[in-house]
Amino acid sequence: MPGIAATSQTLSGRATSWSERLLAFIEGSHARAAAALLLLSLVCFLPGFVTLQPMDRDEPRFAQASKQMVETGDYVDIRFQDEPRYKKPIGIHWMQVASVKLAEATGLPEARTTIAVYRVPSLLGALAAVLLTYWAALAFAGRREAFVAAALMATSLILMIEARLAKTDAMLLACCVAAMGALARAWLARGLERQPLSTVVIFWLAIGIGILIKGPMVVMFTGLAALVLSLRERSLRWLGGLRPWLGLVFVLLAVVPWFAAIAWKSGGEFYRLAVGDDMLGKVVEGQQKHGAPPGFYIVAYFATFWPGAIWAVGALPLVLRERREDWACFLIAWVVPAWLIFEAVPTKLPHYVMPLYPALAIATVIAVSRGFSGPWRWGAKLGFGALPLVAIGLTTVVTLGPWWLDGRLPEFGLPLMVAGCLVSLWAWYLFVRAEVTRSLLASIAASVLMSVGVFGLAQPVLDSLRLSGRAAALARTAPCADPAVATLGYREPSLVFLVGTSLEMVESADQAAAFATGPGCRVTIVEERFISDFRDALQKRQVTHLEALGRIRGFNINGGRRQELGLYRVPR
Average pLDDT over residues 137-163: 98
pLDDT(370) > 90: no
Structure confidence at residue 281 (pLDDT): 65
What's at 456, amino acid-wise? G
Rounded Cα–Cα distance for residues 82 and 564 (Å) = 27
Comparing C-alpha atoms, which of 307, 470, 456 is closest to residue 391?
Answer: 307
Angle 550-58-89 (CA atoms, 0-180°, nearest 5)? 140
Question: If DSSP codes are grouped into helix, strand and coil, which group holds residue 173?
Answer: helix
Name the band, by pLDDT with cuts 50, 70 and 90, for residue 378: confident
Which range is least confidently modeled, 64-68, 421-425, 428-432?
Answer: 428-432
| pTM assigned to the model | 0.95
DSSP readout, 282-307?
Answer: HHHS--TT-B--TTHHHHHHHHHTTT
Name the band, by pLDDT with cuts 50, 70 and 90, for residue 306: very high
Name the band, by pLDDT with cuts 50, 70 and 90, for residue 452: very high
With 0-12 CB in 10 A as exposed, 13-18 as middle and 19+ as buried, what is 317? middle
Question: If DSSP codes are grouped into helix, strand and coil, which group holds residue 525?
Answer: strand
Give the chain's mean pLDDT. 93
Helix pair 326-344, 169-188: axis angle to 10 deg: 140
Q: C-alpha distances in angstroms, 54 versus 57, 367, 489?
A: 8, 40, 19
Rounded Cα–Cα distance for residues 437 and 153 (Å) = 17
Using an 8 Å Cβ cutoff, are 130 and 122 in contact? no
Structure confidence at residue 453 (pLDDT): 98
What's at 355, amino acid-wise? P
DSSP readout, 361-387?
Answer: HHHHHHHHHTT--GGG-HHHHHHTTHH
Q: What b-and-e string marks burial along 258-272, b requiring 16 or more CB atoms within 10 Å of the CB? A: bbeebeebbeeebee
Tens digits of residue pLDDT in 465-485: 999 999 999 999 999 888 999
Name the band, by pLDDT with cuts 50, 70 and 90, for residue 307: very high
Indicate the helix (H) or strand (E) that contains 488.
strand 484-488
Rounded Cα–Cα distance for residues 362 and 371 (Å) = 15
Question: If DSSP codes are grouped into helix, strand and coil, which group holds residue 565?
Answer: strand
DSSP β-bridge partners for residue 375: none
Q: Which domains does the chain have, with CATH numbers?
A: 5-369 (no CATH), 374-464 (no CATH), 466-569 (3.40.190.10)
Rounded Cα–Cα distance for residues 154 and 511 (Å) = 49
Comparing C-alpha atoms, which of 512, 465, 523, 472 is closest to residue 495?
Answer: 472
What's at 161, amino acid-wise? I
Query: Is the pLDDT higher at 572 or at 92?
Result: 92
Tens digits of residue pLDDT in 389-420: 999 999 999 999 999 998 999 999 999 999 99
pLDDT(2) > 50: no
Structure confidence at residue 6 (pLDDT): 40
**Long-range Cβ contacts of 272-276 (<8 Å, 24+ apart):** 272/86, 273/84, 273/86, 273/87, 274/86, 274/87, 274/88, 274/89, 274/215
What single-letter DSSP state applies at residue 409?
A: -
What single-letter DSSP state applies at residue 462?
A: -
3-state helix, strand, coil in the chain (%, to 5): 65, 5, 25
Average pLDDT over residues 319-334: 97
Name the band, by pLDDT with cuts 50, 70 and 90, for residue 264: very high
